[in-house]
Amino acid sequence: MQQNAGDYKTYLDPSIVSKLNSLELKAKLVVEGFKVGLHKSPYHGFSVEFSQHRPYIQGDSLKSVDWKVYGKTDKFYIKQFEEETNLKCYILLDVSKSMDYSSGKNITKLEYSKTLAAALSYLMITQQDSVGLTLYSEKVHKHFAPKLSKVYYQQILSDLANINSGKGTDTSKCLNEVAEKINKRGLVIIISDFFDDINSILTSLKHFRYKKNEVIVFQILDPQERNFAFGNDAIFKDLETGDEITTQPYQIQKAYKEAMTEFVGRIKTECLNSNIEYNLIETSMPFDKALFSYIQKRSKLF
């Protein structure tokens, strides 16, 4: 796919990408735009290309040295086998009702997350990594163990495209259930707004680390959920319970923003303390921040 150097940002803009009908096309354009962007500041020189070699480390068997590469580079490289180079990736996506929220011209949190999950899956497949998908809300709706297969990828896209939001949320129960199903450690990516009991969420996130998995958390929020910029009078409706309350937002804006800052800050702090990579993503943000986070994590694993 050919792109002009100046148009790559177009394919990373959620409001523009959302206008496309095909989720597969969205994923491809986002990833291609991301790759072009990597060649520009601040990502210059960072590669997303798959490599079957790693530098020789003292203690490696000389039988594993790729002598053809040595002849060309005068450096020792080890040819990695498939089980060494393929990463098992588990994408867990929150599809609860709270993810249906959007404000202004922003897309919903769920739509943003679907596109992000599809783009990550596409990037993984092109890097010869196995990818799996879990959709959950108050229960686990779908769970696909990681596989390296283009046919499997098409199934993932189909399920992402046809998501029906769950009713409530039981993040901890669902994450713990998936953690118990993971028999071979890998990279776990969780995409959610995390609007649930914070203590149980943090415990379940640590469950993945206890089982020796690497973990990336993407907390997806609408900008208005952080700045609480509403009018003089507003009716707030709980998307999961249907409960409504009428209030004047300016009266509670300060307290709300303080509570939100504390909520987000605690998740971030606890994640960092547990060696879990945390990313706060607003639905107005380009997709490259999230994709680069994955690439950085993957590069550290090999």
Q: What is the pLDDT of residues 17-53, one digit of tens each?
A: 999 999 999 999 999 999 888 766 455 555 566 556 6
Confidence of residue 239 (pLDDT cuts 50, 70, 90): low
- Cβ pair 14, 287 in contact under 8 A: yes
Q: Are residues 101 and 63 in the same domain?
A: no
Say if CB 120 and CB 259 are below 8 A apart: no
Q: Which run of H or E residues covers position 191?
A: strand 187-192
Residue 134 scores a pLDDT above 50:
yes
CA angle, residues 187, 192, 197, in degrees to nearest 5: 110
Instruction: Write out the residue range of the structural domain in which residue 255 sits.
Output: 86-301
> Residue 196 falls within a domain, yes or no?
yes
How many of the other CB atoms lie within 10 Å of CB of 123?
22
Strand-strand pairing, 244-247 and 234-237: antiparallel
Decide: 156 and 144 in contact? Cβ < 8 Å: yes
How high is the pLDDT of residue 240?
63
Q: Tell whether 24 is covered by a domain.
A: no
Instruction: Quote the pLDDT of residue 10.
Output: 85
Confidence of residue 158 (pLDDT cuts 50, 70, 90): very high
Q: So what's the pLDDT on residue 29?
A: 93
pLDDT averaged over every residue in the chain: 85
The CB-side HSE value for 74 (13 A sphere, CA atoms) comes to: 0
Q: What is the pTM of this model?
A: 0.82
**What's the Rg (C-alpha) of the chain?**
21
Instruction: Indicate the number of domains in the chain.
Output: 2
Confidence band, pLDDT 50/70/90 cuts, at residue 191: very high
In a domain, 8, yes or no: no
Q: Does residue 252 sit in the same domain as residue 110?
A: yes
C-alpha distances out from residue 99 to 82, 111, 114, 239, Å: 37, 8, 11, 9
Residue 236's pLDDT is 60
Residue 9 within a domain: no
pLDDT tens for 198-212 read: 999 999 999 999 999
The whole-angstrom separation of Cα 67 and Cα 72 is 9
Q: Report the percent of the chain where pLDDT is more than 70.
A: 81
Q: Mean pLDDT throughout 267-295?
A: 95
Residue written as token pair 């196995």: 130
Residue 39 structure tokens: 């060649």
pLDDT at 113 (0 to 100)? 97
